[in-house]
Every structure is written in structure tokens, then in C-alpha cells.
Amino acid sequence: MLVEQLKKDMVEAMKQHQKVRLTVIRMVKAALDKERIDGKKEIDDELLIEVVGKQMKMRKDSIEEFKKANRQDLVEEAEEELDILKNYLPEQLTEFEVEQLVDETIQKLEASSMKDMGRIMKEVTPQVKGRFDMGVLSSMIKQKLS
């Protein structure tokens, strides 16, 4: 279970004085607790994947901003945090695998225009959530429908 792994890794990071890793794990744990309280949700692997996905998106956005500001030191720090976060996501899907899934869904739903985008996203999202970048998925579907 990923949640148990997160707790074990936190203890290990404390024992080995891994400051960056410990900070990232604590941020994830704090975000998990916030989701649990605000959303009245049970902490499970699905919630952890959702939270880690949000944390990764924040880091990716930060990396883009840091690059614009010419702050290579901060880019490297955010990339290190991203590498740590990737440990708490299931195995990522390749673009080819997702493209096949999108093609199958378009055929299954007999989608033909942008009006069908919502239906396709609704069908594909549960299968790829936490395992593929949702922005890339959205762009892929738009390209295929246009």
C-alpha cells in the first residue's frame, strides 16, 4: 500500500537525515491530511495518487516559471522533488498506450466532433488518472477530434 510506504519512507528519511526527501514527504502528508479533513475522505492509495499528482503539477509549473526567471538552482531543486514524488505514483503509461486507449474510446463512443470531448474524457480519465499527464491527454483528444 502506497500510504504505508510513504510513512516508512518518512521514518527512513528522518533516520538518514535526507532533508529534501523528508520535506517532500511531509508536504505530501500535509496535503493528504488537508484533503482528508476538507473533503471528509478516507486516506487511501487513490487519494494519495490524486494528491501526489497535484503536487507534481505544482512542481512542473514552478519549473517553467523558474526557467523563465533563469533560476537554474531552483529548477534543479524542483526536479529533485519531482523525482521523489514519482515514487508514489503507479507505473506511468506511455503516450502510445494512451493514444491506443483514446482511439478505442472514440470508436466505442462513435465520437466525431469536439462536442464529444467530455464523454471521451469521462471514459478515459479513470483509466489513466495518476498514470499520465491529463493536459497531454486533453490535447491528444482535441487533436484526434479536430
Segments forming the whole domain that contains residue 45: 2-86
One domain for residues 82 and 100 = no
* pLDDT tens figures, 109-122: 888 888 888 899 99
Final residue in a domain of this structure, among 67, 86, 105: 86
One domain for residues 15 and 80 = yes
The enclosing domain of 128 has a CATH number of 1.10.10.410
Reported as type and span, the H/E element at residue 34 is: helix 19-39
* pLDDT tens figures, 50-99: 888 889 889 999 999 999 999 999 999 999 999 999 888 888 888 899 99
pTM here is: 0.74
One domain for residues 12 and 43 = yes
Maximum separation of any 2 CA atoms in the chain, in Å: 56
One domain for residues 82 and 108 = no
